[in-house]
């Protein structure tokens, strides 16, 4: 549904909103059923066995990861986010969900390598199935995003240099797709675990400022 008044008053906002929303909508056709099912299966196994889940990502991907971790916590998972002060040790059989559009972010690749050395199951959420992160991972879920990888591969270097893309700069498309993908994963887990919104609300923080 179009909004001519908004398009006229804020043309860049309007075009960006359409580009991002259209990209996210069309991305559903790209997802690989087997990859998604493996991801859901390993999360179901973690729930039933009480295995820990560690979520990690840098920058905005890290924020997407935090949102996913919060919902997993609401579902009853023993879940942590890399970089937080309170993080339990990762052990054999635990699940590590690593989010990186390029699959080359040095911090995340290094952390994934460390997780593998202790026998954790690494899940890579990335746009590049041939990336270093994907090659480390036990399960790879290809999430559409950037059309090309910056020649400056390290996340922090890209931020310092200010490299960006028009309308959807840096990893915007990947991050938006990843956020919606992971929210949909939560919905599937709710159904499989027979959890209601009220069940999640009971796990929500009740002491906030």
Contact criterion met (CB below 8 Å) for 41 and 153: no
63 found inside a domain: yes
- Show Cβ contacts of residue 127 under 8 Å, excluding neighbours closer than 6 positions: 101, 102, 103, 142, 143, 144, 145, 146, 174
How many structural domains compose the chain? 1
Active-site positions read 175
| Confidence (pTM) | 0.87
89 found inside a domain: yes
pLDDT tens-digit series, residues 37-89 = 999 999 999 999 999 999 999 999 999 999 999 999 999 999 999 999 988 88
Can you give the CATH number for the domain in which 50 is found? 3.40.50.10490
Neighbouring-strand partners of residue 126:
142
Residue 102: HSE in the Cβ half-sphere, 13 Å Cα cutoff: 21
pLDDT tens-digit series, residues 107-143 = 999 999 999 999 999 999 999 999 999 999 999 999 9
What does the alpha-carbon distance between residue 175 and residue 122 come to, in Å, rounded to a whole number? 19
11 found inside a domain: no
Give me the domain span that covers residue 91.
31-202
Lowest mean pLDDT, pick from 122-126, 177-181, 200-204: 200-204
208 found inside a domain: no
80 found inside a domain: yes
What does the alpha-carbon distance between residue 149 and residue 128 come to, in Å, rounded to a whole number? 9
pLDDT tens-digit series, residues 137-176 = 999 999 988 644 555 555 555 555 454 456 555 568 899 9
Neighbouring-strand partners of residue 96:
54, 122
């Amino acid at each position: 549904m179009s909004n001519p008044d908004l398009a006229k008053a804020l043309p860049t906002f309007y075009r960006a909103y359409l580009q991002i929303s259209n990209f996210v909508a069309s991305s559903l056709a790209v997802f690989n059923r087997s990859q998604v099912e493996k991801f859901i299966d390993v999360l179901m196994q973690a729930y039933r066995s009480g295995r820990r889940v560690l979520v990690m990502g840098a920058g905005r991907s890290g924020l997407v990861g935090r949102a996913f971790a919060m919902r997993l916590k609401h579902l009853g998972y023993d879940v942590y986010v890399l970089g937080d002060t309170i993080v339990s040790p990762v052990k054999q059989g635990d699940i590590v969900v690593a989010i990186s559009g390029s699959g080359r972010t040095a911090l995340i690749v290094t952390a994934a390598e460390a997780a593998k050395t202790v026998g954790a199951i690494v899940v890579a959420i990335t746009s590049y199935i041939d990336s270093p992160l994907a090659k480390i991972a036990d399960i790879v879920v290809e999430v559409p995003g950037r059309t090309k990888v910056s020649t400056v591969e390290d996340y922090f270097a890209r931020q310092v240099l200010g490299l960006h893309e028009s309308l959807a700069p840096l990893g915007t498309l990947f991050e938006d797709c990843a956020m919606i993908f992971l929210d949909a994963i939560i919905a599937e887990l709710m159904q499989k675990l027979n959890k209601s919104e009220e069940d999640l609300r009971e796990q929500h923080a009740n002491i906030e400022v």
